[in-house]
């Protein structure tokens, strides 16, 4: 069936955000008296919400709720100020989004990044793209791979799941799509290897943004 709605993950799919996430998390670690990590290490830490990011970054014996809350108090204000310092859209993404909008497709974002930062990054990097809905992590709402975020987007846009294409860069994204019973595209330019995408049931793979046009 022809697609009417394309839902995008944010980090690793639309934007390369790992350097700013690494800097903010290292700032929080250092502020709490812990050792920091290389930026490369964060490719395996991100994608499951910031509490899980902190859990991965903290020493194993220090992964308590109290320490995660402490990390958050340092991370949030720093990241809110610095989350566009080195983040940037992947090559060809802005052009793809413009093409999809011109085709009349409805566009949405479903991210495990907290809502405030998700909205800011979309406004900053894609100010002319008419996203119908931009959803990040909010209190009381389950993180991906729970399919609730996809269900809410479908409900608010009035689109059936058979008319949805979900685009992401991780196994969590592919699981989210499968749990929501929507067709998925795993992008190979993001934070995770192709093997993770295929192991988690990606329906299609995209090596460059315009490959997504093939699956509409």
What number of other Cβ atoms are within 10 A of residue 140's Cβ? 4
> How many other CB atoms are found less than 10 A from the CB of residue 13?
26
In 82-194, beta strands by DSSP E: 88-89, 106-114, 133-137, 164-168, 183-187
- Is the CATH number of domain 18-82 1.10.150.240? yes
Q: State the pLDDT at residue 190.
A: 96
Just give the CATH number of 5-16+88-215: 3.40.50.1000
Distance separating alpha carbons of residues 20 and 79, to the nearest angstrom: 7
Q: Are 25 and 46 in contact (CB under 8 A)?
A: no
Angle at 207 between CA 206 and CA 213, to 5 degrees: 45
Q: What is the pLDDT of residue 186?
A: 98
- Within the chain, all domains assigned CATH 3.40.50.1000 are found at 5-16+88-215
- 138 secondary structure, DSSP code: -
Active site residues: 9
Q: What is the pLDDT of residue 159?
A: 98
Report d(CA 153, CA 5) in Å as an integer. Answer: 9
Question: For the chain (length 216 residues), average pLDDT per consecutive 10?
Answer: 95 97 97 96 90 95 96 97 98 98 98 96 98 95 96 97 98 98 98 96 98 97
Q: Which pair of structure tokens corresponds to residue 5?
A: 């709605």
CA distance 4 to 163: 5
pLDDT of residue 48: 86
């Amino acid at each position: 069936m022809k697609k009417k709605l394309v839902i995008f993950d944010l980090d690793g799919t639309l934007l390369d955000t790992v350097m700013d996430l690494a800097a903010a998390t290292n700032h929080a670690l250092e502020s709490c008296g812990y050792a920091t990590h290389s930026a490369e290490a964060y490719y395996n830490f991100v994608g499951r919400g910031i509490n899980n990011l902190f859990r991965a970054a903290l020493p194993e014996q220090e992964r308590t709720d109290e320490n995660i809350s402490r990390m958050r108090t340092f991370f949030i204000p720093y990241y809110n100020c610095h989350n566009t310092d080195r983040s940037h859209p992947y090559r060809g993404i802005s052009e793809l989004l413009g093409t999809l909008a011109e085709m009349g497709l409805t566009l949405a974002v479903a991210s495990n990044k907290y809502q405030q930062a998700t909205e800011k990054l979309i406004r900053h990097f894609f100010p002319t793209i008419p996203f119908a809905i931009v959803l990040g992590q909010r209190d009381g709402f389950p993180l991906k791979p729970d399919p609730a975020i996809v269900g809410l987007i479908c409900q608010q846009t009035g689109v059936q799941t058979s008319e949805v294409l979900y685009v992401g860069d991780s196994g969590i994204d592919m699981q989210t799509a499968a749990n929501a019973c929507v067709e998925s595209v795993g992008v190979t330019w993001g934070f995770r290897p192709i093997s993770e995408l295929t192991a988690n049931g990606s329906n299609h793979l995209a090596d460059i943004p315009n490959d997504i046009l093939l699956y509409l």
